């Protein structure tokens, strides 16, 4: 029971550390023209692209946590074949999710370049 409490506290602390850069990046999410109301289509596309990239960064952090969880499940299996399979399945599904995330990033990058959104709006 004490072990689960320690792991839960460590996971919560990790989630706070993961969320901190996203909160800071949210300040740069909106373009400066939002105050005057004269935003162009390119600036709005830049805002959408910034939000998508920020979301992909958070999801990438969750993938890292899932790799750690799958590895810990596998390591603490104690030779139990069901727990070993569970840990392997978590890692396999995480790899599939990572491939989907990379595909989404490539798609966003391709659309950004194809639509000609200026790099000046993208902080990444």
Read off the tokens for 90. 């978590």
pLDDT tens, the chain, 124 aa long:
577 767 777 777 776 666 666 555 555 666 777 777 777 777 777 777 777 777 877 888 888 888 988 988 888 888 888 989 998 999 999 999 889 888 888 887 787 778 776 554 444 4
Read off the tokens for 55. 């979301």
Spatial separation of the C-alpha atoms in residues 80 and 61, rounded to whole Å: 29
What pLDDT sits at residue 124?
47
DSSP character for 30?
S
Where do the domains of the chain lie? 2-29+37-121
Instruction: In the chain, count H helices and then E strands.
Output: 3, 0
């Amino acid at each position: 029971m004490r072990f689960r409490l320690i792991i839960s506290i460590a996971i919560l602390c990790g989630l706070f550390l993961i969320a901190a850069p996203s909160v800071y990046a949210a300040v740069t999410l909106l373009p400066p023209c939002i105050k005057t109301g004269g935003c162009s289509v390119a600036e709005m596309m830049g805002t959408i692209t910034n939000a998508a990239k920020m979301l992909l960064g958070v999801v990438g952090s969750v993938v890292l946590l899932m790799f750690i969880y799958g590895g810990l499940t596998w390591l603490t299996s104690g030779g139990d074949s069901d727990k070993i399979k569970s840990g392997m399945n978590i890692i396999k599904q995480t790899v599939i999710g990572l491939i989907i995330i990379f595909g989404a990033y490539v798609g966003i990058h391709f659309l950004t370049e194809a639509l000609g959104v200026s790099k000046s709006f993208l902080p990444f």
